[in-house]
Amino acid sequence: MAESKTKSRTFRRVIKKTPSNKIVLHFVKRKHKKAICGSCGAALKGTGQETPRKHNKRSKSQKRPERPFGGVLCSSCARRTIKLMARSLK
């Protein structure tokens, strides 16, 4: 019977050449998607691109930028939102 990881596409297939000149198939975990901005959909900077397990082990300050809307909106969208909020208070 084939292993379960060889049957599904959960693991990506990487062709490697060994020192003995054999070509072997390795199964590697896929990269996780980057966090995206809730407004424009751009990739967020300052947030990790890792598994949820690794992400949860990081400290709070390492998980997202220390600014208003950090980890939710990109810097340009956050700037625009803060300006709109300030203008509406007047």
All residues at 6 or more sequence positions from 14 whose CB lies less than 8 Å from its CB, including other chains: 25, 26, 27, 28
- Is pTM beyond 0.85 here? no
DSSP for 6-21 reads: HHSSSEEEEEEE-TTS
pLDDT tens digits, one per residue of 10-68 = 899 999 999 999 999 999 988 888 999 999 999 999 888 888 888 899 998 888 899 99
